[in-house]
Amino acid sequence: MKQAPTGFPKDFLWGGAIAANQAEGAWDVDGKGPSIADIEILPEVYSRKQIVGFKHTKEDIEQALADKEGYYPRRSAIDFYHTYKEDLALMKEMGFKCFRTSFNWTRIYPNGDEETPNEAGLKFYDDLIDEMLKNGIEPVMTVSHYEMPVALALKNGFLDAACIDHFVKYCVTLFERYKGKVKYWILLNQINCLGGWGEFSSLGLLEGYSKNDVYQALHNQFVACAKATKAAHEISSDLQIGMMLGDDTRYPATCKPEDVFAATRCNQMNLYFYSDVLCQGEYPGYAIRFFHDNNISFDITEEDLKLLKENTVDFLSFSYYFTKVTSANPDASEDNPYLEKSIWGWAIDPLGFRNSLNHYWDRYHLPMFIAENGLGALDEVVDGKVHDDYRIAYLKGNIAAMKEAIKDGVEVFGYASWGPIDIISCSQGEMSKRYGYIYVDIDDRGNGTGKRLRKDSFYWYQNVIKTNGEEL
């Protein structure tokens, strides 16, 4: 019997994660086309729990693209496009072993369907990746993180089967360009998020879609991922392809069997369905029954099923922020009375992180990479310092839980905390919802000096990495 792990592997990839659309800015320079993120406005009035959505009609989209005066937070973001060297130097100072970011699809293919890529966009990522490597930081690259070209979204995105080939062509361009430099790839960010964001925004961006359309578009995403995985492995056996979930595991509200099963079914269809298809290569029985019971039908060919079975991913990645509660009563609260919450209502549950890690490992026995984990909070600068002990407490609890999961036998090879530098919030479109170890002097209207400032958590995480997680 082999000895149980006692802590993090010596080559563990400590780091952080951002998305191109939430950080880069420079939304219309060097040949870049508009992505779905570039048309998201910041509401003049919003509550702390409000979710910002993308525009929903073609007229809105056309108006947003023509609007040069309104404030669209991601169009400028934190100007990472021009400050990446400075920002990566700060991450090197913390000791980062890896950095996860995304390519912005529209920097490479401005409309998504061009015959040849935009060389200026590729050159930016040449320089960015080379700078990571120069600083001893392993690139973990997401192919698309809510950055679908508007032109493709207006053609129904992945509901249009032609989008499969556009996406695969985009992937192949990147795989061939960066083989030998980028080993770890995540194809689509949080593929299970169907609420109108990201690659699925073509089904939330425009109105009038049916459930059949949603699952047809999702199936086309699965096929696109399988084709991209196949292409990657043909280009180089060194390329490691991962799929990513947005984890929000549900607990049963009570030990009533009806509540327990409601949580089981919710976790199946909101989480495991996606990873079952891409990690195990087939549609699970519970999903097939769900489609039957809900009169959902879409086109699947035998060729599709063969492709999925033969081209499963190499690793599983997921984001983890919170858990929720589910009941057989559809009107019951999703809040957990045993857990504290952030000001945005997100339950703080480090043991839930360990629980998820164990569940995924037991189900797939695939190596795992934590693609996101963090706490959004309202930070205050006092005398040139940010004392974010609340963030340290949150991360300390989650990293300790991850360590226990590794001791349970779960194979985790890296951890990228979300937003190591303050960026535009995805869910609220705010700058004031901050996650970073590095404060950026920009407010919700884009005003400020852009100056970077090390928070207390900067030095804490620096020591976590230095001690390989022994000192939390």
Residues 188-193, mean pLDDT to the nearest whole number:
92
Assign 367 to helix, strand or coil.
Answer: coil
Residues 309-323, mean pLDDT to the nearest whole number:
98
- Residue 98 has which token pair? 């890896």
pLDDT at 393 over 50: yes
In degrees and rounded to multiples of 5, residue 27 shows phi and psi of -70, -20
Contact assessment for residue 313 and residue 367, using Cβ atoms and an 8 Å cutoff: no
Q: What is the pLDDT of residues 42-59, one digit of tens each?
A: 655 444 444 445 545 677
DSSP 159: G
Q: What is the pLDDT of residues 228-270, one digit of tens each?
A: 999 999 999 999 999 999 999 999 999 999 999 999 999 999 9
Contact assessment for residue 46 and residue 428, using Cβ atoms and an 8 Å cutoff: yes
Residues 448-466, mean pLDDT to the nearest whole number:
98
360-385 per-residue burial string, b: 16 or more CB within 10 A, e: under 16: bbeebebbbbbbbbbbbbebeeeeee
Query: What pLDDT does 49 receive?
Result: 46
Closest CA to 7 of 344, 402, 339: 402
Residues 4-33, mean pLDDT to the nearest whole number:
96
Contact assessment for residue 417 and residue 438, using Cβ atoms and an 8 Å cutoff: no
Residues 144-170, mean pLDDT to the nearest whole number:
92
Query: What pLDDT does 60 receive?
Result: 74
CA angle 173, 177, 182 (to 5 degrees): 110
pTM reported for the whole predicted model: 0.95
Query: What pLDDT does 48 receive?
Result: 44
Q: What is the pLDDT of residues 58-72, one digit of tens each?
A: 777 788 888 888 888
- Residue 72 has which token pair? 């669209």
- Residue 110 has which token pair? 């401005």
